[in-house]
Amino acid sequence: MAKAYVCRAAEWVTREAMQIHGGMGYAEEYAVSRYFLDARVLSIFEGADETLCLKVIARRLLENVT
C-alpha cells in the first residue's frame, strides 16, 4: 500500500514541479523533466500499479473481510 501511495505521490509532485517551470520544465536541460520521467516508471516496475492494487492489496483486504 505504501508503494502504491508513494508512486502516485511522486508522479503528482513531479508533475506539479514540471508545470510550475512551464515550457522550460519540459526541456531536457532542466532536471525537473527527468524527475517526472523517473517518477513515472515507479508505478510500472517492481509491481505495476494495477497488479499491485488488484492482485496484492485488494486480495489481502478481501481476505481480512471473510
Ligand X SMILES: Cc1cc2nc3c(=O)[nH]c(=O)nc-3n(C[C@H](O)[C@H](O)[C@H](O)COP(=O)(O)OP(=O)(O)OC[C@H]3O[C@@H](n4cnc5c(N)ncnc54)[C@H](O)[C@@H]3O)c2cc1C
- 34-42 long-range contacts, Cβ below 8 Å, gap at least 24? 36/11, 38/14, 39/7, 39/10, 39/11, 39/13, 39/14, 39/15, 40/11, 42/6, 42/7, 42/10, 42/11
**Residue among 11, 16, 28, 46 flagged as catalytic:** 46
Applying CB under 6 A, which part among 2-10, 14-22, 30-38, 49-57 lies near ligand X?
A: 49-57
Q: Least CB distance from residue 23 to ligand X, whole Å? A: 27
Closer of 3 and 21 to ligand X (Cβ): 3
54 lies in the site for ligand X, by CB under 6 A: yes
Q: Is 16 an active-site residue?
A: no
Residues engaged in binding ligand X (CB under 6 A)? 41, 44-46, 48-51, 54
- For the annotated catalytic residues, the residue numbers are 46
